[in-house]
């Protein structure tokens, strides 16, 4: 059972994994999906360190990346690191479900990767 409550969608006809939701499969246009959660560690597909943040963030920078999980789910998440010096394309990341921003003073949770 995954700790990450993101719901991804595996096409029942052709097994293509989708995240986020699509009403029809991107490959075969099928409409039936099995709900799955991201499972296992994630491979770091790409990342960046952003210094000019949008309204709503008090941090000086954010590190954001895309991880590909062992069961094929691909998702964007923040990366918990002091800087990007230690990050490399393809490295293994451990996913967590953690606060990613505040909206009206309340924590909003999302995917946060840490070097595994």
Residues that bind another protein (CB under 8 A): 18-20, 26, 45-57, 60, 62, 64-66, 74-78, 84, 89, 100-101, 108, 110-111
Residue with smaller CB distance to another protein, 41 or 101: 101
Min dist. Cβ of residue 110 to another protein (A): 6
Beta strands in the chain (DSSP E): 8-11, 17-18, 33-36, 42-50, 62-69, 74-79, 92-103, 106-115
Q: What are phi and psi of 45, to 5 degrees?
A: -75, -45
Provide the minimum distance between the beta carbon of 36 and another protein in the complex, in angstroms, as a whole number. Answer: 15
Q: Of 34 and 57, which CB lies nearer to another protein in the complex structure?
A: 57
In eight-state DSSP terms, residue 53 is: P
- The nearest distance, CB 12 to another protein, in angstroms, is 18
Rounded Cα distance, 28 and 11, in Å: 9
């Amino acid at each position: 059972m995954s700790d990450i409550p993101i719901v991804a969608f595996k096409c029942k006809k052709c097994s293509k994994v989708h995240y986020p939701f699509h009403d029809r499969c991107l490959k075969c246009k099928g409409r039936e999906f099995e709900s799955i959660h991201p499972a296992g560690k994630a491979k770091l597909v790409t990342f960046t360190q952003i210094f000019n943040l949008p309204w709503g963030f008090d941090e000086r920078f954010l590190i954001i990346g895309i991880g590909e999980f062992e069961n094929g789910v691909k998702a964007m998440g923040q990366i918990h690191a002091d800087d990007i010096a230690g990050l490399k394309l393809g490295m293994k990341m451990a996913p967590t479900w953690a606060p990613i921003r505040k909206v009206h003073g309340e924590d909003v949770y999302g995917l946060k990767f840490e070097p595994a």
